Structure 1
Amino acid sequence: MEKKIAIAATSVAALFIGGTIAVVQLNKAPQDFAQCGATAVAGSAIGGPFELVDSDGETVTDADVITGPSVIYFGYTFCPDVCPLDAMRNAQATYILDEKGIEVTPIFISIDPERDTPEVVGEFASNFHERMIGLTGSLEQTDAASKAYRTYYKKEENGDPEYYLVDHSIQSYFNIPGYGVIDVFGHTETPENVAQRMECLIDMTG
């Protein structure tokens, strides 16, 4: 088991280091957002409509949950290292902005719906921030959401049926209604840096 975790961690790290630059379609000139340190560049759209299931077992759409500035992450609750660290970082950045009276909604979307039931993903999300929304769904629903955000994931082949790992991309996507995804945060970004960039972008788009 320890060997599997080490292999998965190495694979995820390699994906992050060697991954391509995220590209988004913006309603505002990308150079304007660059003033905030935004890393996204104009091009093919990232993000789009999705239909998933929330912690209450209710079917929701992107319009239901992305009602204001939101930071979105794709992962899974059994993830041994990267997912909880990134979820915590996004939650900490959200708390920093809470103290300034700026509300951002952190969203955690599972790419492992076989194990991540609505109850499981909801409890996982709420452990990091009381406003963090946990979403799951059918394999078709979660795959469609992942494709809309151009994320990568691959279930471990020939893994233990209960304890398998999932290799996946580790970016977080900052989405503001009317603008879409306007920034992408990597795994190494600090809570302070993420909060600062989100605040700047909210001011610019508000």
Structure 2
Amino acid sequence: MPRRSILLFAGACIAIAAALAIVTVVVVSGRGPAAGEVSSTGQPLVGGDFQLVNQDGAPVDQTMLNGKWSLVFFGFTYCPEFCPTTLAELGAVQQRLGDKADNLQIVFVSIDPERDTPRQLKDYLSSDGFPKGTIGLTGTPEQVAQAAKAYRAYYEKVGEGEGYTMNHSLTVYLMGPDGKFRTAVAYGLGPDKATKIIEDAMARG
């Protein structure tokens, strides 16, 4: 093969490899924050308008986030592992924050409105080990879908009948007192790392 053809072929291989590397980075990044933290720059990546009801049946919207730091998590009360694990971890974070926790609210948004009535949420969130004062939110399927879309939270019903379950994303979103996205806390970091991410974000304002 002529030298020029070899060089052209090698160059094409390098270009293809580079393109594949870029695609891999995009795909991996789309799954969630690999390092446990994603900071917003300029326009918020997540968050927006929603209309839901809390565990007392009172209507709420996105303005409930104003004035406090908020940890927003999407899940469901029949979740066998990930949701109770996340809530227990947030309970440990709440304790580690000490007085700083007075300015932090934890918001659990159900992605299973078919079963998660306000009463069901209230009973579930009163479990020992879960964060004190956690606010449960639910609504119609359309309202829940809108809230999840605003936060780019994935969920999907799996199965039929009473035994169905829900697949869903596991990211916890930290919103600032202005109601805008600050950073994301990935699943499984542990209370110490999660607390540090939250404290660092609070220090930045």
CA positional deviation for 1:111: 0.3
Q: TM-score, normalised by structure 1?
A: 0.76
Alignment of 1:100-115 (within 5 A): 102-115=102-115
Partner of 1:129: 131
Gaps of 5+ in 1: 1-16, 24-36
Q: Does 1:143 align with 2:142?
A: no
Are the aligned partners of 2:138 and 2:144 in contact in 1 as well (CA < 8 Å)? Answer: yes
Alignment of 1:84-103 (within 5 A): 84-99=84-99, 102-103=102-103
Identity score, percent = 32
d(CA) in 2 for partners of 1:101, 1:183: 17
Partner of 2:39: 40
Give the alignment's Cα RMSD to 1 decimal: 2.4
Are the aligned partners of 2:37 and 2:186 in contact in 1 as well (CA < 8 Å)? Answer: no
Structure holding more helix per residue: 2
- Amino acid corresponding to residue 135 of structure 1 in structure 2: L
Runs of 4+ displaced beyond 3 Å? 41-44, 99-102
Are the aligned partners of 1:49 and 1:148 in contact in 2 as well (CA < 8 Å)? Answer: yes
Corresponding residue pairs, total = 175
CA positional deviation for 1:201: 1.3
Partner of 1:76: 76
1:154 to 140, 153, 156: 156
CA positional deviation for 1:199: 1.3
Are the aligned partners of 2:87 and 2:131 in contact in 1 as well (CA < 8 Å)? Answer: no
Mark the CA change 1:20 to 1:75 in structure 2 (over 3 Å): closer, same or farther: same
- State the secondary structure of the residue aligned to 1:174: strand
Mark the CA change 1:21 to 1:182 in structure 2 (over 3 Å): closer, same or farther: farther
- Amino acid corresponding to residue 94 of structure 2 in structure 1: T
d(CA) in 2 for partners of 1:182, 1:100: 16
Partner of 1:175: 175
Instruction: Name the stretch that deviates more: 160-169 or 98-107.
Output: 98-107
Over residues 20-43 of structure 1, what are the superposed CA-to-partner deviations in whole Å (9 max), with x where a residue is unaligned? 1559xxxxxxxxxxxxx8423536
